[in-house]
Amino acid sequence: MRKITICLLVFLVTVIVVSGQEDFFTRLSDAAIELTKIKVEYDPAYVDIDYPNGDIPANKGVCTDVVIRAYRKLGIDLQKEVHEDMSANFDLYPDMWGLHKPDKNIDHRRVQNLMVFFASHGTVKTITGNPDDYTPGDIVCWNLGGEITHIGLVVDKKSDDGKRFMIVHNIGAGQVLADCLFDFRIIGHYTYKK
């Protein structure tokens, strides 16, 4: 009887934990979809912003701002998280911009930095050509050609043919919902829950 009780408790805890994770990623998906209702002009300009919880003007943004703003709606400040991690582990981050120390205004707005952060603090998921491997709340990074990278969030809306989940991203036309999962070469696939 004691073994049955212990097994039942383990099962219930597992169900609660998994359910909580699914609820988080569902809320992240919903937050990303909500962002598509806000008109945003694509603008990669460097901007001095507050810290923590700083943001560029709400009517401006790039692909990383979609991810940052969706997480912020769930109370997670990627500006702070990335800045703190870069301050402690600066040598692990790409040396592409000639910086000698972290910059709280821009570091979290760079795809390559987010990839390092999510790989270190989230879950790295397999990159495949199978749409079933990409679920709502997943973060996907692409190479658009050369050194041009891109990032978006998988959301709980299916493509017209029902074969894959769609993406909320900003590739130049604002924060939009698009069926573009396999339009570019995927170079990163993560989940992150603080």
Return mean pLDDT, the chain.
91
User: Cβ(28)–Cβ(190) under 8 Å?
Assistant: no
Residue 185 CB-density burial (10 A; 0-12 exposed, 13-18 middle, 19+ buried)? exposed
What is the model's pLDDT at position 11?
43
Q: Which pair of tokens denotes residue 61?
A: 């943004």
Q: Which domain holds residue 66?
A: 2-191
Q: Tell me the sheet residues that pair with 151.
A: 141
What is the model's pLDDT at position 2?
54
What is the model's pLDDT at position 86?
98
CA torsion through residues 22, 150, 124, 108, sign: negative
pLDDT above 70 for 14:
no
How many C-beta neighbours within 10 Å does residue 152 have?
27
Cα–Cα distance measured from residue 143 to residue 187, given in angstroms and rounded to the nearest whole number: 6
CATH number, domain with residue 172: 3.90.1720.10
Q: How many domains does the chain have?
A: 1
How many C-beta neighbours within 10 Å does residue 169 have?
28
Of 11-20, 41-50, 150-159, the one with minimum mean pLDDT is: 11-20
Please compute the mean of the pLDDT values over residues 156-172 and round it to a whole number.
98
Q: Which pair of tokens denotes residue 108?
A: 């979290």
What is the model's pLDDT at position 99?
87
| pLDDT digit string, tens, across residues 75-127 | 999 999 999 999 999 999 999 888 899 999 999 999 999 999 999 999 999 99
Q: Which pair of tokens denotes residue 158?
A: 């299916």
User: Cβ(141)–Cβ(188) under 8 Å?
Assistant: yes
What distances in angstroms separate CA 72 from CA 2, 9, 56, 95, one per listed residue? 44, 34, 13, 26
| pLDDT digit string, tens, across residues 165-179 | 999 999 999 999 999
